[in-house]
Amino acid sequence: MFELSANLELMFTEAGVDAGARCRAAAEQGIKYVEIWDWRNKDLVSLAAALQETGTVLQTMCTIPMGRLVDPSTHEEFLLGLRESIPVAERLGSPFLVVTAGDELTGMGRQDQHNAVVAALRAAVPILEGHEVVLLLENLNSRVDHAGTFLDSTTEVIEILREVDSPQVRLLYDLYHSLVMTEDAATVLRGNLDVLGHIQIADVPGRGEIGTGTIDWAAQLAELRALGYTGRLGMELIPTVETVKSLRAISALAVAV
């Protein structure tokens, strides 16, 4: 079965604004893994206590700042933020830090921006070395949620990761973004599991819970299984109903596939 990870920014909001309270609410439903975005706006003492008390694992969190790798002038700030984020991830027990490339710049060639992302990630490698934290590069969709984003292709992210060539810089494959861009998981992931760190999901269209869109999720998850993926599935979705109810379809599929 696939283990599920709940995004606390979007799920279990019924428990209030505190990430620790949401973590406890997730644990009450048998969810053993959770995810957050920006750690700076969280009560980290509360979250750390909730993680420890419930035995929950923080699967992912974001490094800071996000979305600026295409611009070489921001790399020093990115690396400083990474240095700040790594000890927070270690304190909270998170194996993954997430980063995005940012919006495409005008007046700068696409290949130059591609090279800038590679350069930023290569500069991150020495900072990551010696830490049990992996940096995940995520591509977003440019058709619905992130118009103008530079990296909307999983294939290009994989190309970048091949150029960086470090086991501590890997792919966050968000199946929602990929499906919006009409990508096929088998096509983009086959032969590339060595650079894959984590997968996130949500239904299409709408980014709701499984069953609210048009995707055949039994087939999608079976495909991931056939490819050899045995990691967790991050539910980065916006429930259209109470979070507990939204879990039913994906929980049943995760066990069945």
* pLDDT for 253: 87
**Does residue 2 have a pLDDT over 80?**
yes
**Does residue 137 have a pLDDT over 80?**
yes
For the chain, give the percent of residues with pLDDT over 90.
96
- Residues in the chain, total: 257
Domain count, the chain: 1
Residue 22's domain spans which residues? Answer: 4-256
From the centroid of its chain, how far is CA 101?
A: 13
Mean of pLDDT over the chain: 97
Name the residue among 243, 218, 178, 184 with its Cα closest to residue 16.
Answer: 243
Local confidence band at 230 (pLDDT 50, 70, 90 cut-offs): very high
* pLDDT for 78: 98
Question: In this predicted model, what pLDDT tens digit does every residue of 108-119 receive, in sequence order?
Answer: 999 999 999 999
**Does residue 101 have a pLDDT over 80?**
yes
Query: Cα–Cα distance between 257 and 26 in angstroms, integer?
Result: 22
CATH number at residue 172: 3.20.20.150
The answer to whether 159 and 125 are in contact (CB under 8 A) is: no
Phi, psi for 37 (deg, rounded to 5) = -100, -110
Strands annotated E in the chain? 4-7, 33-38, 57-62, 96-100, 134-138, 169-174, 196-201, 233-235
Pick the range with the lowest mean pLDDT from 41-45, 63-67, 83-87, 132-136. 63-67
